[in-house]
A and B are shown apart, each in its own frame.
Chain A
Amino acid sequence: AQSVTQPDIHITVSEGASLELRCNYSYGATPYLFWYVQSPGQGLQLLLKYFSGDTLVQGIKGFEAEFKRSQSSFNLRKPSVHWSDAAEYFCAVATPILTGGGNKLTFGTGTQLKVEL
């Protein structure tokens, strides 16, 4: 069965520092991978996605992620963190729904990012 592991529950970085959030997935076929961000009181906002092709994908707010099949990883990075990036970040893998199309997402437990000024 598919699964997603986010090993870091909490991460604290200083504003301006670089950031890497880890995500490992378990999925038998070529995965569709996503990163979502949840700010307090907000919904899940899509940061970026990987379906195929270039393994380095760019997203909104200056985020990028790299798909590494050999490591079953899809780590999220940002070169310089801003205080407004403080939020919870979720990695997810999509499983196709065979009857009717679409997919269902399996999420990791999330990483809470704190940014120190």
Chain B
Amino acid sequence: EPEVTQTPSHQVTQMGQEVILRCVPISNHLYFYWYRQILGQKVEFLVSFYNNEISEKSEIFDDQFSVERPDGSNFTLKIRSTKLEDSAMYFCASSEGQTQYFGAGTRLSVL
């Protein structure tokens, strides 16, 4: 069964450092998403990506964040200068229509 793959499963970084979270969406899917879940809080939408551009972003997704589909398979989330409050589980999702399928997540710990 096809699945969304995220790497790494856990990333530890120092405050102010750049991190790149990687995702391989399901191969025939057209829409790509990032969500995050701060410990003890709701899963929150960050950004959606279609046809090589951002189609919608939340107010959380400020200039410190960027997304890219560098080749035909990967979808990345970059945080330029991490803050303590960026510590969270980050989920990638993909869909071909209305149903999103999620990866296992990357736990980002900012020290």
Residues of A within 8 A of B (CB): 32, 34, 36, 41-46, 49, 51, 90, 92, 94, 97, 99-110
Can you list 11 contacts pairing A with B, beta carbon distance less than 8 Å? A43-B104, A43-B105, A46-B101, A94-B98, A97-B48, A102-B31, A102-B95, A105-B35, A106-B45, A107-B42, A109-B42
Q: A43-B103, A44-B91, A110-B42 known; A104 and B98 CB under 8 Å?
A: no
CA distance A109 to B39 in the complex (A): 11
- Report yes or no: A97 in contact with B55, Cβ–Cβ below 8 A: yes
B33 at the interface (CB under 8 A from A): yes
Residues of B within 8 A of A94 (CB): 98
CA distance A94 to B35 in the complex (A): 14
- Report yes or no: A100 in contact with B104, Cβ–Cβ below 8 A: no
Residues of A within 8 A of B98 (CB): 32, 49, 51, 94, 102-103
Q: A32-B98, A43-B91 known; A104 and B56 CB under 8 Å?
A: yes
Separation in Å of the A102 CB from the closest CB of chain B?
4
CA distance A42 to B48 in the complex (A): 22
B100 at the interface (CB under 8 A from A): yes
CA distance A100 to B93 in the complex (A): 16
- Report yes or no: A101 in contact with B55, Cβ–Cβ below 8 A: yes
Residues of A within 8 A of B51 (CB): 100
- Report yes or no: B50 in contact with A102, Cβ–Cβ below 8 A: yes
Partner of B48, one of A90, A92, A104: A104
Separation in Å of the B74 CB from the closest CB of chain A?
17
- CB-nearest residue of chain B relative to A106? B45
Q: A43-B105, A46-B101, A101-B31 known; A108 and B55 CB under 8 Å?
A: no
CA distance A82 to B102 in the complex (A): 24
- Report yes or no: B43 in contact with A100, Cβ–Cβ below 8 A: no
CA distance A90 to B41 in the complex (A): 12
Which residues, 56 to 111 on B, are CB-close (under 8 Å) to A?
56, 91, 93, 95, 98-105
- Report yes or no: A108 in contact with B102, Cβ–Cβ below 8 A: no
- Report yes or no: B100 in contact with A105, Cβ–Cβ below 8 A: yes
- Report yes or no: A104 in contact with B45, Cβ–Cβ below 8 A: yes
- Report yes or no: A42 in contact with B104, Cβ–Cβ below 8 A: yes
